[in-house]
Structure 1
């Protein structure tokens, strides 16, 4: 059951609808980071004097431009590390769309459900991202004391978080919040193990960008198998 759900999730990633959602999240993240870099460069240039006088050199007029470009360059370098979490946030806005196209493709006889509104989707995404960030910050403080077990702790923690959130997201589309939580609790080991396997790509650069989309698809499949 676990491997079937994951295999179908990876297969669904190759569908145009899933690739569109993934590329949309990446494009929005890139746009935001580039805009932030340009804005930071403009702000630094704004507060930097047009010229300064250096000892033995005299007036220097290029400091204003150099400071702006340096700020942009440093921010773009930092964006290499910011890209994944920011893209994950934006992709998270569309996870309901992933579940919808998976159901229409594989479970076409299901009745329509009420889609989440933008504010609901935004709230759920930010809440989940905040929990993941907070939990991993705490884990970072623990890793130095359990170095041999750090990779296992990373997988166990993120597997739990991914499994719980993505499974309940898929379940709540078809049943109430309480029923979804009850179904999760009855199948917690299966959901957790699926989450652990889904967390493996998190440590692989670039590949970790697809985790939100593949995870949403895989847990939608898992939910329908367990709900039977």
Structure 2
């Protein structure tokens, strides 16, 4: 059943409304990461001296240039780590558009969803970003200590996080966040399994950027399925 939800979401990906959210999410993500990289590079060039006097070695020049190149490489690696959580948060801002597109095609008989307020959406998205980065940071440290476990830790941790967040948002737009959290606890097994299904492709560069949109659509289907709402097709 979960795979059916995912395949329905995947089949709808080429649609204009899905493409628009995908492009917005990726564009805003790249813009934010580029801005952070520029600020970090400016900070390095401002704070790091161009030459140092070292005992027994003498004056070493070009420190700023070396540190700048190191900063560029470090930010590139860090951007790979940050791209998915940031893209997930930005896509969360446009969840309503993805869920509406899913319902317009598969559940056209439903009344319009009340939706989440702007303040609630932003607050939830920011909280999600903080939790996502902290938990992934901790998982990365554990994975570096036990390298063979890194992929499994990544999948399990992000499966739990993505399932928790996207189901709550998909359900919350119709029944409110409190009721959505209660429903999430009732179906935690299915939600976790669907989250892991979303998390596994996160390991694949570039493919991972599509996952936030597919996740929003998949969990919209999952919400309607567990509440007994049947799709038209």
Give per-residue Cα distances to partners, 1:176-227, cap 9 Å, x unaligned. Answer: 3333223222222111111111111111111111111100100100110110
**C-alpha distance 222-72 of structure 1, shift in aligned 2 (>3 A):** same
Separation (CA, whole Å) in 2 of partners of 1:192 and 1:48: 46
Tell me: higher relative CO, structure 1 or 2? Use CA pairs within 8 A at least 6 residues apart.
1
Per the TM alignment, residue 82 of structure 1 is displaced from its structure 2 partner at its CA by 4.2
Match of 1:183 in 2: 183
Match of 2:199 in 1: 199
Residue pair 1:34, 1:76 contacting (<8 A) in 2 also: no
Separation (CA, whole Å) in 1 of partners of 2:133 and 2:203: 15
The two structures have a TM-score, normalised by structure 1, of: 0.79
Separation (CA, whole Å) in 2 of partners of 1:131 and 1:36: 20
Separation (CA, whole Å) in 1 of partners of 2:130 and 2:48: 35
Per the TM alignment, residue 157 of structure 1 is displaced from its structure 2 partner at its CA by 2.0
Per the TM alignment, residue 23 of structure 1 is displaced from its structure 2 partner at its CA by 0.5
Give per-residue Cα distances to partners, 1:35-84, cap 9 Å, x unaligned. Answer: 444555666677899xxxxxxxxxxxxx99x79x8699558745455444
**C-alpha distance 216-45 of structure 1, shift in aligned 2 (>3 A):** same
Give per-residue Cα distances to partners, 1:5-26, cap 9 Å, x unaligned. Answer: 0111212222111111010111
Aligned residues: 226
User: Which structure would you say has the larger Rg?
Assistant: 1
Residue pair 1:29, 1:83 contacting (<8 A) in 2 also: yes
**C-alpha distance 101-34 of structure 1, shift in aligned 2 (>3 A):** same
Residue pair 1:170, 1:223 contacting (<8 A) in 2 also: yes
Residue pair 1:37, 1:71 contacting (<8 A) in 2 also: no
Gaps of 5+ in 2: 50-62, 229-233
Match of 1:125 in 2: 125
Greater shift, 121-130 or 72-81, is seen at: 72-81
**C-alpha distance 74-154 of structure 1, shift in aligned 2 (>3 A):** closer
Residue pair 2:158, 2:195 contacting (<8 A) in 1 also: yes
Say yes or no: does 1:137 pair with 2:137. Answer: yes
Per the TM alignment, residue 166 of structure 1 is displaced from its structure 2 partner at its CA by 1.0
Match of 2:216 in 1: 216
Alignment of 1:95-114 (within 5 A): 95-114=95-114
Match of 1:160 in 2: 160
Separation (CA, whole Å) in 2 of partners of 1:75 and 1:154: 21
Separation (CA, whole Å) in 1 of partners of 2:15 and 2:170: 19
The two structures have a TM-score, normalised by structure 2, of: 0.77
Gaps of 5+ in 1: 50-62
Q: Find the residue that maps to 2:205 and give its secondary structure.
A: coil
